[in-house]
Chains A and B, each alone.
Chain A
């Protein structure tokens, strides 16, 4: 059986592979031609081969049960990649860089002079009421004045074809290891395509990450001691913590491996005694980082770590307090930040948002709950939100009460019909909704991953892409369509 693109319809939506007239978009031509040659049976076999490879390579993520406890699951990957032209990507990359620079200037400003408040761009109440604002960080100056060294921004494309920024994850964003591993697997199953098409590589990230981390070392050393700090094996992203430590050749430490000495430096306990640590890539939330300053009951962190960091004896990435800009209400001000700090127009737009903390906007949101998505400002993973069009009358009633009780804690957005990518469903290819999470590194310079992690909602019609809620993933191809020999003929109809 052959793949029949005529049977593939994504009505009223933006499909990343098939254009409005049924023709192929330029970035995906080589891919579509290849799939047509393979046929659906062979494609299905290759999907199976990919799943076996994932099992053998031990690529997993952990799912928490509602009853407590957790299990390791094989990472879900659909082998049909999502394709983007290099030309479009270059614009997105510039937009993400611009955003990361502005956000870092904003955080540094908030913990120093708060010019943006003084100049009336952002109300002070917003900062004070942000759950991730850390007064303990006031006046601290981390290296390069960078706070959010690693940022994972979620991008979505609406049915209008425009790429929007949905949110910026500045605390401990995860997924980058899966971006790299997805490519390893897909290279194994589509080797022919990588020989012929100009698909840009993604595996540069760990080197870039290490160089950025090393640049923050307080000591001048040829090889600074950089470590990755994990909450431990039962964390949902443990695979990634271990993966990144391995790729960078760093120790993967837990809080109990570290101690702060009387000299306010950080040491790790080794088989040959104590060794000083220069840079910590921490994958633990602020709350658990230092029981002396934040949550006293935390056993994951290191007592005295904040003291060592404030004195500049150890560098932390991301810096404590960086999460202030992770707040979804602050997110609504990012375009203003870009204008204010950089004197530029934003390259990438935000999804239009209503700030429920403002009386008139709240009124509108309450009147239109059935059409909107309402999100808690400090949530992640798709928890605690209301999907208006899919909600019942009763759910909306309950949510309205929550909204009125604490309007500052919510923002509302229109439902964006995410773009789709052909995805293997049984014997057929069907459109499924996707988003895209690129990762931005900020150090002496700003680096953006080539593409990012494409997440896909595997259930028909679903817009929820989170792996914790049944989402899958895809490889993301940035295709240099200007490279020689790629111009492919227009799709032909046939049987």
Chain B
């Protein structure tokens, strides 16, 4: 397929995945805050840190309160990571792909964008936000289903999957990073609230149900971290996403370097000690993981996407 088109479908998938994850984050945070004890309120700023947009937020918004953060993450078109901006970018990329996306997929994405734009006010109002965000997640999943069920397994599909899994691995690692830093220090950890925080990490990944099903244990730090980072069966864990990415690369030519980097990343994850409750150590682990993910992206871009235009 055309190199330029491969890049477009890769980014379309990344932005869709980004929009879906952001919707989950906002939704879960709202419910977390309702459960936490008075006096200990992590508030909304952690979401800004997870999406790596602290600088932009500080420049554009006055207070890190609920209204401002939710507005920034859902509706702010000048925040390239907002759901509104992500869907716009995804759709603009898809517009260049209409010749190879299944018709139903394009129509659904188009409808997704229209409905999101038309009902955005419901997402900003507290009372209706939950249903609005749920719809965003479900529509994104439905789109994945339409693509899985109707799109031929050509290189175009492969690049779509690569964008999705790379973005997912990245986002899962960010969620772990920020939530872990925020969890109450062990001494202060009050028994009833200890579980809630890790439960919410799992909820942010839509992973609570699957965690219970496969692990059958109480939700404690080490198990939750292991599930989010290393589970081989849960489709939103870092390890699963990276392995899927490697499988995609196997079907492409000239992919040895990228696959090698992925192997190192998985090996690094497998060897990590998740049992020691040391927030700084965990942050370091995630940071290294993100370096690997960035390297894989750079490698994919260099190998398959068009070189930047050069002026003669």
Q: Would you call B306 and A269 a contact (CB within 8 A)?
A: yes
Contacts of B114 in A (CB 8 A): 55
**B117 CB, nearest partner CB in chain A, Å:** 12
Q: Which of B1, B95, B96, B100 contacts A271 (CB 8 A)?
A: B1
Q: Would you call A269 and B99 a contact (CB within 8 A)?
A: no
Q: Would you call A233 and B155 a contact (CB within 8 A)?
A: no
User: Would you call B252 an interface residue if the criterion is a C-beta within 8 Å of the partner chain's C-beta atoms?
Assistant: yes
Number of interface residues of A (CB under 8 A): 24
User: Would you call A210 an interface residue if the criterion is a C-beta within 8 Å of the partner chain's C-beta atoms?
Assistant: no
Q: Would you call B2 and A268 a contact (CB within 8 A)?
A: yes
Stretch at the interface among B53-61, B103-111, B272-280: B103-111
**B59 CB, nearest partner CB in chain A, Å:** 25
Contacts of A270 in B (CB 8 A): 1-3
Q: Would you call B107 and A246 a contact (CB within 8 A)?
A: no
**A246 CB, nearest partner CB in chain B, Å:** 4
Closest-by-CB residue of B relative to A241 is B99
| A-contacting residues, B82-118, CB 8 Å | 92, 95-96, 98-100, 106-107, 110-111, 114
Q: Would you call A56 and B107 a contact (CB within 8 A)?
A: yes
User: Would you call B44 an interface residue if the criterion is a C-beta within 8 Å of the partner chain's C-beta atoms?
Assistant: no
Known: A245-B99, A252-B99. A257 touches B111 (CB 8 A): no
| A58 to B105 alpha-carbon distance, docked (Å) | 11
| A238 to B95 alpha-carbon distance, docked (Å) | 9
Summarize A's interface: helix, strand, loop or mixed.
mixed
Contacts of A57 in B (CB 8 A): 107, 110
User: Would you call A250 an interface residue if the criterion is a C-beta within 8 Å of the partner chain's C-beta atoms?
Assistant: yes
User: Would you call A253 an interface residue if the criterion is a C-beta within 8 Å of the partner chain's C-beta atoms?
Assistant: yes
Contacts of B111 in A (CB 8 A): 56
Contacts of B100 in A (CB 8 A): 246
User: Would you call B159 an interface residue if the criterion is a C-beta within 8 Å of the partner chain's C-beta atoms?
Assistant: yes
User: Would you call A223 an interface residue if the criterion is a C-beta within 8 Å of the partner chain's C-beta atoms?
Assistant: no
Q: Would you call A271 and B3 a contact (CB within 8 A)?
A: yes
Known: A58-B110, A269-B2. A256 touches B98 (CB 8 A): no
| A322 to B186 alpha-carbon distance, docked (Å) | 79
| A-contacting residues, B1-60, CB 8 Å | 1-6
Q: Would you call A253 and B2 a contact (CB within 8 A)?
A: yes
| A269 to B6 alpha-carbon distance, docked (Å) | 11
Q: Would you call B309 and A58 a contact (CB within 8 A)?
A: no
Closest-by-CB residue of B relative to A246 is B99
| B-contacting residues, A203-247, CB 8 Å | 233, 238, 242-243, 245-246
Closest-by-CB residue of B relative to A244 is B99
User: Would you call B234 an interface residue if the criterion is a C-beta within 8 Å of the partner chain's C-beta atoms?
Assistant: no
| A114 to B6 alpha-carbon distance, docked (Å) | 47
User: Would you call A492 an interface residue if the criterion is a C-beta within 8 Å of the partner chain's C-beta atoms?
Assistant: no
User: Would you call B253 an interface residue if the criterion is a C-beta within 8 Å of the partner chain's C-beta atoms?
Assistant: yes
Closest-by-CB residue of A relative to B156 is A271
Closest-by-CB residue of A relative to B304 is A271
Closest-by-CB residue of A relative to B101 is A246
What are 18 A-B interface contacts by the 8 Å CB criterion?
A: A55-B110, A56-B110, A57-B110, A58-B98, A58-B106, A243-B98, A246-B100, A252-B5, A257-B2, A257-B306, A269-B3, A269-B4, A271-B2, A271-B6, A271-B155, A271-B159, A271-B304, A273-B253
Q: What is A's interface to B at a CB cutoff of 8 Å?
A: 55-58, 233, 238, 242-243, 245-246, 250-254, 256-257, 268-273, 299
Give 13 new A-B contacts, CB below 8 A, not counting A257-B3, A271-B159, A271-B252: A55-B110, A56-B110, A57-B110, A242-B95, A242-B98, A246-B100, A251-B99, A252-B5, A253-B2, A256-B309, A269-B2, A271-B304, A299-B309
